[in-house]
């Protein structure tokens, strides 16, 4: 990663994500700590699906399904789990809860693991994930898959116990399931959410831009992308407001629109930005955490 020093680095960072509801937002706090002015603008809306199916699986318990773990690769998957638990409690308040708190939940990155911890703190229950694994060792689906194989090999014997419940969205790549099935893992895959573009994004982005322009001491410096699907969804709207550098770095910037740098949360999004959208990526977070992302941008800016 190239380090560059800017005499007057722009401080505003546009985070293309939904901010945390209530309390402290980890990504915004990480940038605030480093002197940036983060603004989160939601890009996608989530629809939860197959709630009844997930509720049935949770109520049945892991032992009755020969499950030795659960794979949850995003915060939305955990929200789906929470919704299903609420459905169980609503349908049968007297249900004796089966034990999920000691079942390993494999998560990509610290953000997903933190969401699980927050869920358990808000609602202590044997139906809520308690044993979160892999977050420190995995920042990508490939890394998580190899961690799961290693963890299961050390923990269980025989193929009958190597079965995992895999909670998915509607835009999953096949990297993780291919690696796991090749390693003899049986996946019980269930789609629990779907995403689509937020209809209010153009309006929300316009408001964010106008608020910055109203303050002459502020200007834009960075746009941060968190997922390929979100990047593709909002790029046309962003191009109406900002100017990005193409993958041919020799072209530099041209035009009169606000010039901004691109940062991404991980290598999968970086590859999509470069290969599909043909945009130059200035910073890739070394790990998919708020602190690593903010630190990488600060290093690039020389701050």
- What number of other Cβ atoms are within 10 A of residue 52's Cβ? 11
Average confidence (pLDDT) over 215-238:
88
Same fold, 11-43+198-302 and 47-195: yes
**Nearest-angstrom CA–CA distance, 193 and 268:** 20
Q: What are phi and psi of 208, to 5 degrees?
A: -65, -45
Residue 283 has pLDDT above 50, yes or no: yes
Q: Cβ distance 55 to 83 under 8 Å?
A: no
Query: Pick from 139, 142, 130, 83: which is nearest to 111 by CA?
Result: 139
Interior/surface letters 100-120, b for 16+ CB within 10 angstroms, e for the rest: bbebbbbbbbbbbbbbbeebb
Q: Cβ distance 70 to 180 under 8 Å?
A: no
Average confidence (pLDDT) over 281-289:
92
Average confidence (pLDDT) over 243-254:
66
pLDDT at 212: 83
103-160: pLDDT as tens digits: 999 988 666 777 777 777 776 677 888 888 887 667 778 889 999 999 998 876 554 4
Q: How many residues does the chain have?
A: 303
Structure tokens at 245: 């550098």
The overall pTM is greater than 0.85: no
**Nearest-angstrom CA–CA distance, 169 and 191:** 5
Pick the CATH number of 11-43+198-302 from 3.40.50.10090, 3.40.50.2300, 3.90.226.10, 3.30.1330.60: 3.40.50.10090
pLDDT at 298: 95
Query: Within 13 Å and on the Cβ side, how many CA atoms surround 123?
Result: 15
Average confidence (pLDDT) over 42-68:
92
What single-letter DSSP state applies at residue 281?
Answer: -
pLDDT at 203: 94
pLDDT at 255: 57
Cα dihedral angle (220, 222, 227, 230), rounded to 10 degrees?
Answer: 20
Confidence category of residue 98, pLDDT binned at 50, 70, 90: low
Mean pLDDT of the chain: 84
Query: Pick from 182, 140, 148: which is nearest to 165 by CA?
Result: 148
Judged by DSSP in three states, 289 sits in coil
Cα dihedral angle (247, 263, 226, 152), rounded to 10 degrees?
Answer: 100
Cβ-count burial of 138 within 10 angstroms (0-12 exposed, 13-18 middle, 19+ buried)? Answer: buried
- CATH 3.40.50.10090 applies to domain 47-195: yes
Q: What are phi and psi of 40, to 5 degrees?
A: -90, 130
Every domain of the chain and the residues it spans = 11-43+198-302, 47-195
Q: Cβ distance 76 to 170 under 8 Å?
A: no
């Amino acid at each position: 990663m190239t380090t560059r020093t800017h005499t007057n680095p722009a401080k505003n960072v546009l985070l293309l994500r939904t901010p945390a509801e209530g309390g402290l937002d980890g990504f915004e706090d990480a940038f605030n700590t480093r002197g940036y002015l983060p603004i989160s603008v939601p890009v996608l809306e989530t629809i939860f699906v197959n709630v009844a199916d997930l509720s049935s699986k949770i109520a049945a318990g892991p032992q009755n399904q020969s499950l030795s773990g659960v794979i949850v690769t995003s915060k939305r998957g955990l929200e789906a789990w929470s919704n299903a638990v609420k459905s169980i409690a609503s349908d049968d308040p007297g249900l004796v809860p089966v034990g999920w708190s000691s079942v390993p939940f494999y998560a990509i990155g610290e953000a997903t693991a933190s969401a699980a911890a927050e869920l358990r703190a808000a609602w202590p229950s044997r139906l809520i994930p308690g044993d979160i694994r892999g977050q420190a060792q995995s920042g990508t689906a490939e890394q998580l898959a190899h961690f799961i194989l290693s963890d299961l090999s050390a923990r269980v014997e025989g193929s009958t116990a190597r079965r995992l419940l895999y909670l998915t969205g509607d835009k999953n790549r096949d990297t993780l399931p291919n690696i796991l099935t090749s390693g003899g893992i049986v996946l019980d895959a269930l789609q629990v959410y779907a995403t689509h573009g937020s209809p209010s994004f153009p309006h929300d982005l316009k408001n964010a831009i106008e608020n910055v322009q109203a303050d002459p001491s502020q200007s834009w410096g960075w746009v941060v992308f968190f997922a390929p699907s979100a990047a593709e969804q909002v790029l046309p709207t962003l191009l109406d407001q900002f100017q990005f550098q193409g993958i041919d770095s020799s072209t530099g910037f041209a035009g009169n629109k606000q010039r901004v740098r691109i940062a991404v949360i991980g290598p999968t999004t970086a590859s999509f930005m470069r290969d599909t959208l043909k945009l130059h990526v200035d910073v890739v977070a070394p790990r998919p955490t708020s602190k690593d992302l903010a630190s990488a941008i600060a290093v690039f800016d020389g701050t």
